[in-house]
A and B are shown apart, each in its own frame.
Chain A
Amino acid sequence: MTTPQRPGAANDSCIVRIRGLSYAAGGRALFDGVDLDVERGAVTAIMGPSGTGKTTLLRLITGQIRPDAGELLVDGQDVTRLDRSGLYALRRRMGMLFQNGALLSDFDVFENVAFPLREHTRLPDRLIRNIVLPKLQAVGLRGAAGMMPYELSGGMARRVALARAIVMDPELLIYDEPFVGLDPISLGVVLRLIRELNDALGISSIVVSHDVREIAAVADSAYLLSGGRVLASGKPSALTDSDLPEVTQFMRGLPDGPVPFHYPAPDYAQQLFGEAPP
């Protein structure tokens, strides 16, 4: 299934195109000349150790923060040059799943999913109901429509957030660490939903995660970020078979390697005998 494209984005096979992206925060360079493409209609994984800036990259793509340098095109539009209204118009065609679901605590499940529709359209209640219920059915939570967010488990909250993310039929769906803290059943459900929603709705998906095995099962392509740059990219299987030490350490979960187990410290013996400061 092909996704309709904006006129300016015609013939562009990538929904997100990043070139020479640099961004520093707190005096530390998180990205230094990152190039990255997200293919239309594909599930693209962005992986990397904790603290690499994966979530920051999502915030850059959604225009929540601005890069120091580089080009960041989403569906042919340079996010770095959009004003507030342009950014909001672009975000209406995106959906995002936050790590904790970020459900609105005052509303029940139905109203959480209906929220974007109520804010952006003047549809009558009956039509909103006919849009929201199928979305809840798609994530298996139609029966939980009347529950409040505090009554949901972590996995259920994330599925409700997923239903909310797709309620406006976005072209790009972004997942921020969707597997964190899920039990095996919920994890399996979320994995299946990522793939099925991507294919059934004909959208493009970006999944940020450091769960190598899980993400390799659903992603069409993957990027491995570390030290402010792209270490490797390609099909998840190619990354798994890579013989680059940094890639091997991450993909196989080795405790020691190019990313050392020990944080830099003075000589251990010297410190034990009090010859170096603790």
Chain B
Amino acid sequence: MMRLLQEIRSRTVDLFAEVGRYALFTGRLLMETPRALTRPSLVITQVHNAGALSLVIIMLSGLFVGMVLGLQGFDLLERFGSEDSLGTAAALGLVKELGPVVTALLFAGRAGTALASELGLMRATDQLSAMEIMAVDPIRRVVMPRFLGGIIAMPLLAAIFSMIGIFGAQLIGVQMMGVDPGQFWSQMRGAVEHGDIMEGVIKSCVFGVACSAIAVYEGFHSLPTAEGVGRATTRTVVISSVVVLLLDYMLTAVML
């Protein structure tokens, strides 16, 4: 029993220590942001890596999520005779919730793992140490552009996801199920407010900071071995997913 309590205590202390390290690291990244923006070419390259290279998976996923939303939404709304509200339901669901959350989860799986493994490999092959010896701060030169690239890419990807998702819902609802297109679009325009869109934008920005910080933290601090890089990649996906869902609940509770 005592051993169990000690184990729980030890794990709790470790957890808080890890959270503290994350907070300090993220704090340093945010402090370095103004300086990093003075080298925009490095950031733009990383926006391309994290954003443009994730476009296909984001667009495909958005399309299918939108189509499923169209099918399920139509089935549900038809029971109440309000299938004309499908556009509103799909748009609100995508813009406020599914767009930011699913984009963040996909981002963690595609761009997050790429970031973590890239940094982990740089650590394992002494590239980061070589930069230190060349008096080049690897946080400023390597980590910051990747962190900012992720933050900038996330809201853009979430917007594209939501847009394609609405198109998918329209494809199913209007083209297949026969919902009136005028009703679909006009009800959507009437019901979706500026605040709803801002809620999605805020969420995707917060998720962008969280996912990017987790990916670069795990990669930068990975053990310099093949196993260490693999573990950092796995931890990136697991921690990002849990944190995104946790943050989503907290943000929704605050903004509703």
By a beta-carbon cutoff of 8 Å, the part of chain A in contact with chain B is 62, 64, 88-89, 91-92, 94-96, 98-100, 102-105, 115-116, 119-120, 161, 164, 168
Contacts and interface: CB of A to CB of B under 8 A. Distances in A.
Nearest to B137: A88
Interface stretch (B81-89, B123-131, B152-160): B123-131
Interface in B98-138: 121-122, 125-127, 129-130, 132-137
B136 A119 contact: yes
A19 to B, nearest CB: 23
Interface of B: 121-122, 125-127, 129-130, 132-137, 141
A40 to B, nearest CB: 20
A102 B136 contact: no
Nearest to A99: B126
A129 B216 CA distance: 33
15 contacts: A64-B132, A88-B137, A89-B135, A96-B133, A102-B126, A102-B130, A103-B127, A103-B130, A104-B130, A105-B125, A116-B134, A116-B136, A119-B141, A120-B135, A120-B136
Contacts, number: 49
Given A105-B125, A119-B141, A98 B130 contact: yes
* Top-9 shortest CB links A-B: A102-B126, A102-B130, A88-B135, A91-B135, A96-B133, A92-B135, A119-B136, A98-B126, A116-B134
B127 A91 contact: no
Contacts of B122: 105
Nearest to B133: A96
B86 to A, nearest CB: 47
B127 A102 contact: yes
A164 B131 CA distance: 11
B135 A98 contact: no
A220 B141 CA distance: 38
A223 B156 CA distance: 59
Nearest to A93: B135
A15 B133 CA distance: 17
Contacts of B129: 64, 98, 102
Given A96-B130, A98-B129, A100-B126, 9 more contacts: A88-B135, A91-B134, A92-B135, A102-B125, A102-B127, A103-B127, A115-B136, A119-B135, A119-B141
Looking at B127, B137, B141, the one whose CB has the most chain A CB atoms below 10 A away is B127
B247 to A, nearest CB: 32
A62 B134 CA distance: 10
Contacts of A168: 134
Contacts of A95: 133
A112 B126 CA distance: 14
Looking at B126, B129, B141, the one whose CB has the most chain A CB atoms below 10 A away is B126
A103 B127 CA distance: 6
B185 to A, nearest CB: 46
B49 to A, nearest CB: 11
Looking at B125, B126, B127, B130, the one whose CB has the most chain A CB atoms below 10 A away is B130
Nearest to A104: B127
B141 A100 contact: no
Looking at A95, A102, A105, A119, the one whose CB has the most chain B CB atoms below 10 A away is A102
B237 to A, nearest CB: 23
